[in-house]
Structure 1
């Protein structure tokens, strides 16, 4: 594809990737993954758009499309994928456009992973970048399946203090709306990542703490450059990053929980999430994890649901999902 409106935010620097395997950025929602992928795109030239969100919905529907060796079936699948909001959102963010014909012409293997690869490579081609990536927090619920689709990919987990994750989620249309449910949700998500890390080859998994990235990004980028097989023997790329990255970071944008959560909220969160907080190097006021009881959990879950239902912005995303269900695509 020909680049027409290359985003001005991406510097025209020469970067050589020895590997072109996909890069999947993992992380709980509100863990700083959007900022992180923006900087991967800017400084390491990895083509990551907005959250795809469609990979496992379409995987579940593959029997509907039939044998993908048949051209008509492939076209049917690709045309449906192209109706996903990833394309609209990535167009608004980066000016990217593509067509079903362009994707189909680029399919190298007549399989679902082959079609996904061709789809995401359209963005890499548009941005003139050697490899593509994706970041969709909900894929934490499908990590073994994600690895089965992309067994050669690199996986980067961005971890953030769950208490700051909770505070950020409280302000969004999505996510949990009280500290009890936020602690349970964050703990379960971190356990899924830890389980995945144990099964994933060490050479394909890297973990980055959000707080470390904001405080001292250069050592983190040094690890990323090595992990992603990017050439920088003379250190010029790292030097360029060091000279330019300050304006891209919100320094000190962490530990807001110290002033914004009440003592009782902190105690509840820490008791539920203690082991995982400590695992990632965060302090905890608890001495150990205390699993919540069923009665307490039922009350907090009811409170959480009520808080969501009272938010008008909660309904827009759910109406989109309802339309997908009615169309038989979820």
Structure 2
């Protein structure tokens, strides 16, 4: 069983890529598991919190580090086994949780032969999409603001950029250049002998308009895609951000993500640093200083008491 992890900033097209790849009969996938960033991370945090316990409490009194890793791996092995069972002809398990970009070390610790695909998308398109979906889903993206969403893209990309330092089983793709040949090449990279015609068929089946219907949709649907929230499957228009973001919004994204986005050939167009962003940074700095001051006063009061 080969393991493949798709990572990237949220709203970068990772779900679309997941569906495209899973049109191969040899790849089985499922909804985002959040296995490493939510479930297994709690075990790891607990292990570390007891590492220097003066009373030797915690699982360290029962397990060596190697045995503890085996315990964690038994959980993830079972999860991947269940994903593999969804498609009898599959030999590759594809897991797509964008936030696993931050947990590649934990993944490689348990699965040193794991493969990774990092999908990158123009941060302005990502920010526009996160803001739109955040409003519909009423989640943290809705209140993060353009600055916060830009920093989320930057943080995710920087985290994923570290993966190839630890493994050669890494491939980086851009959303804007995903096409039939890219899909076919990626299948080949995974050791699959799929035809270019199969890649073309997968692209047609996974077109946004077809994902919203039952008849014309993908042959392999790991979950009922048409029942996803409305904002989950948006236009698929690569330049929609140009009409969805104001010039000030674009300038903020450019100011924060500029050096990294230019590395991926996304040209900045914002002019300078907008007044709105400078005001935001000033307010953020004041809030941070106030919070630090409050903590200092609280610690001083505790010492007095």
Find the aligned partners of 1:164 and 1:110 in 2 and give their Cα distance: 41
Alpha-carbon deviation of 1:115?
Answer: 3.0
C-alpha change, 1:184 and 1:272, in structure 2 (3 Å) is same
**Structure 1 partner of 2:257:** 273
8 Å CA contact retained: 1:68, 1:110: no
8 Å CA contact retained: 2:12, 2:120: yes
| 1:21-49 Cα distance to aligned partner (Å, 9 max, x none) | 20001111111111211222223532221
- Is 1:158 aligned to 2:153, yes or no? no
**Structure 2 partner of 1:312:** none
- Is 1:242 aligned to 2:200, yes or no? yes
Alpha-carbon deviation of 1:166?
Answer: 0.9
8 Å CA contact retained: 1:140, 1:189: yes
C-alpha change, 1:60 and 1:286, in structure 2 (3 Å) is same
8 Å CA contact retained: 1:180, 1:300: no
**Structure 2 partner of 1:296:** 280
8 Å CA contact retained: 2:36, 2:106: no
Correspondence for 1:208 among 149, 152, 173: 173
C-alpha change, 1:226 and 1:240, in structure 2 (3 Å) is closer
Name the SS of the counterpart of 1:52 in structure 2.
Answer: coil
C-alpha change, 1:160 and 1:148, in structure 2 (3 Å) is same
- Is 1:136 aligned to 2:97, yes or no? yes
Instruction: Using structure 1 for the length normalisation, give the TM-score.
Output: 0.62
- Is 1:124 aligned to 2:84, yes or no? yes
C-alpha change, 1:68 and 1:42, in structure 2 (3 Å) is farther
Find the aligned partners of 2:166 and 2:107 in 1 and give their Cα distance: 11
How do 1:77-92 and structure 2 match up within 5 A? none
Alpha-carbon deviation of 1:247?
Answer: 3.6
- Is 1:188 aligned to 2:165, yes or no? no
Find the aligned partners of 1:301 and 1:238 in 2 and give their Cα distance: 53
Alpha-carbon deviation of 1:58?
Answer: 2.9
Find the aligned partners of 2:18 and 2:202 in 1 and give their Cα distance: 16
**Structure 2 partner of 1:106:** none
Q: Where does the alignment leave 5 or more consecutive residues of structure 2 unmatched?
A: 48-57, 209-234, 288-305
Alpha-carbon deviation of 1:299?
Answer: 3.5
Name the SS of the counterpart of 1:22 in structure 2.
Answer: strand
For these two proteins, the number of residue pairs brought into alignment is: 237
**Structure 2 partner of 1:230:** 192
C-alpha change, 1:242 and 1:21, in structure 2 (3 Å) is same
| 1:232-252 Cα distance to aligned partner (Å, 9 max, x none) | 4xxxx2212214522412486
Correspondence for 1:146 among 107, 116, 121: 107
Find the aligned partners of 1:194 and 1:289 in 2 and give their Cα distance: 26
Q: CA RMSD in A?
A: 3.3
8 Å CA contact retained: 1:23, 1:133: yes
Computing the radius of gyration from Cα coordinates, the structure with the larger value is 2
Instruction: Using structure 2 for the length normalisation, give the TM-score.
Output: 0.67
C-alpha change, 1:300 and 1:59, in structure 2 (3 Å) is closer
Alpha-carbon deviation of 1:50?
Answer: 0.9
Find the aligned partners of 1:200 and 1:267 in 2 and give their Cα distance: 34
Q: Where does the alignment leave 5 or more consecutive residues of structure 1 unmatched?
A: 1-19, 75-108, 304-330
Correspondence for 1:115 among 75, 82, 85: 75
8 Å CA contact retained: 2:6, 2:95: yes
